[in-house]
Structure 1
Amino acid sequence: MIRRSFFGYLAAKLPYETVQGGLPDPVDTGLPGEVTLQIQVGADQKSLVDKKKTILKKGVEVQRGALYGLFDEKKHDLTAPVSGTVGSVETRTGNYGRHFALVNIATSEEGEPSPAFSEALDQDPKGETSLAFLSNLPGRPPFARLGSDSIHTVILSALEKDLFTNVNQYALQARKADFKRGADFIKELAPKARVVLALPQYLEAEAGDTGCETVGVKNLYPNGNPLLLAKRLSGTPVEAGKTLEEAGFLFFSPESVAAAGKALRTRSLPQEKLVSLTLKNKQTKLVNARIGTPISRIFEAVGETLVKRDHLIVGGPLTGMSVYTPDFPVDPDTDAILCYGPENMPRLTDTFCINCGKCVRVCPANIPVNLLIRMLENGLYEEAVEKYDLDACVECGLCSFICVAKMPLFQQIMLARHTLAESKKSAETGGSND
């Protein structure tokens, strides 16, 4: 339920989903006949994929749980979630012009997993290879960066990234023993860092035996936003234009921490991702899907039929992205998938800003969004950074949610930030990133 101030002066209050009154068993979607793994690549790498100049190519056999490089065997781009044969390696261009390599694997019998992870643990559980394996777990935990001396705070956040999902709260409660094991391992890897478990206030009693310092947070969006959590814990906002890591923070989800704990316990890599599904009737289901599983198979598993003109959104209603095909795969960091039928699809317009100021009042970064959007509509991106704090955006999407004119404010901000980043990269390399 969305709660608003009677006079409309205060921000809308958007409660996250909760997990109370018993833990449901996730629906298991089973072993898919084919999986697709997505790897973001640069324009030059896209050209190599298009020219079939990759190590992984059609006919190559892969084993579940083994590390593979797309262009270099020593670079660990992906972990195979299934055993099988590579059917094709192709490219697609996604939101904001980002390029992705798609590795399609035809699944064979489940069989035994690769012994490579177990061997890496025997050699050195804290070594580079072991951490490379753990960094490809569900949730994409940044284990490989834990050894940096610049990291002073590690945030384990049981708050959700967006609305209509509860995977982090579920993982913390249902996988508590593995979570503690994973959290203890993080403390060993970063002994000088502060390791903090941020969680909804209603779950504070659940955190007593995790061994972590805990911080209870109101279960309202966008309190789980990583940049806002970093500000809450440090007392100062992350400097505009800096990433969390550059500011000394690393961010882990409870699902990824529990997956690491299970991997250390079983000496085998978990390859199933928890995903919250929102169906066309607005009912929510929790599913357990193999990484790379097509979205269509997941909806089949819960009895939902997808038809033409259905709108699929990956990642949540405020910060997610629309996808163009029901065969779009589940990524290691996919927490939520929404399906809207054509009759209840939220609408956006190209109406001009009416200057009501609601986006300004709701912005947690205090950005003058009504002025910023005028710069972005005219392509004045650098001026937007200098005068209107474009680089201070925390990417919560509240401005789009509350916009009376139904403008896609969040998407315009993200496009501007991506365009500036690509321009900077192009200037540094002396070439083009088109």
Structure 2
Amino acid sequence: MAPNDSVESNGGTRGTAVGRRKAARYIVPVAVAGVAAATIGLVPALASTGDPDLPKITAQQLIEKIAASDTQQLSGTVKISTDLGIPSLGGLAGSFAQGGGSGGGKGDSSADPKSRMTELASGTHTLRVAADGPDKQRVSILDSAAEYSLIHNGDQVWAYDSKSNEAYHATEKRAGTEHRAGQKSGHSTPAPDGVPTTPKALAEQVLKAAGPTTSVTVDGTAQVAGRDAYKLLIKPRQSGSTIGSVTVAVDAKSGVPLKFTLLPSSGGKAVVDAGFTKVDFAKPAASSFTFTPPKGAKVTEADDAKAQRKADGAEGLGIFPGAEGLGAGGSGAQDTKVIGEGWNAIAEIRTPGGTGLPSKASGDVPAEAQQFLDSLGDKVSGSFGSGTVFKTRLVNALVTDNGKVYVGAVTPDALVKAANGAS
């Protein structure tokens, strides 16, 4: 078993800049429900068995092994279980991503990855993944009687929902990032930005966040998907974070993260388990990355869908009027700052127009979305005024009535304290 060697890893100012840039995109409760966890550089897990006898390695050496991994080809099965302590997002994914409704808008498609990949923020899912270099990836979400696939091949991106027989097609702009999240790693998958689908993508986000406030140690060995692995244990040195620990099982031979486990500081089961149950590092078949819409399938072109949503007034973050500027970056990003550091960092975001949450009474929120928000929120007050705290087991957010949002992997009390201090 490897010794419990430790090291401090400094993420530097680059990690802070990335956190500030991305935080502005996820100020709404759906982000708090899952995607914001990835935004702040936090992440997940899967249970393993076995205790192989491997050569000793330090934490620094193991981190370097992950960074040096040049694996470009793989295929396998990934199991992801997420327990954020919130209602299932399955029926609401379309509402949040498309601006209300569940695929009923003219510009909507049940195959649109922006809505379908949000489903990974809750429940247990089995994914089949494949990659062949930075330009060819495929991820499929497997259901009992259906399959949803997202395929990236060169500048072409296809998504297909077998249940509805709908396909979604986009031509990738080579300078863009919408469908190229994490492509520096050849085995990342073509999910929308902020939705990691492999242990590799999850591990990279956590290591970016590691710094002087983080303890990093080697915590023994494990067997994952039939392969020997070292366990990298990452824990906050600070108190007040909702994160208890993150464990990354790293393939002893290739340096590829095979499993990711995030435990909350409150105790109990893992918030997220994500790991390979089967993995093969051989070159996948070329047919894995080709797609032709089946006969009779409804095909939605990404540009046409975007234009229709804009015409319908549902472009951007939809049910949260005024948030479009934040979702697109630009001036919205300038209204964001970070309070505190490390695991206790809190993003303070000023919404355009200085308005609070829309409500069902105002006619701005669909009934099902309002029900979801009410199930998460608690009313709070302080010297900052009043607002609503949206809670999960991992990321919490305070939305004030005067148009500010405080979000982080910290306790609700920490958010209220930050808002009071900034008032």
TM-score, length basis structure 2 = 0.24
Q: Which structure has greater strand proportion?
A: 2
Which protein is richer in helix relative to its size?
1
Q: Which has the higher contact order (CA 8 A, sep 6+)?
A: 2
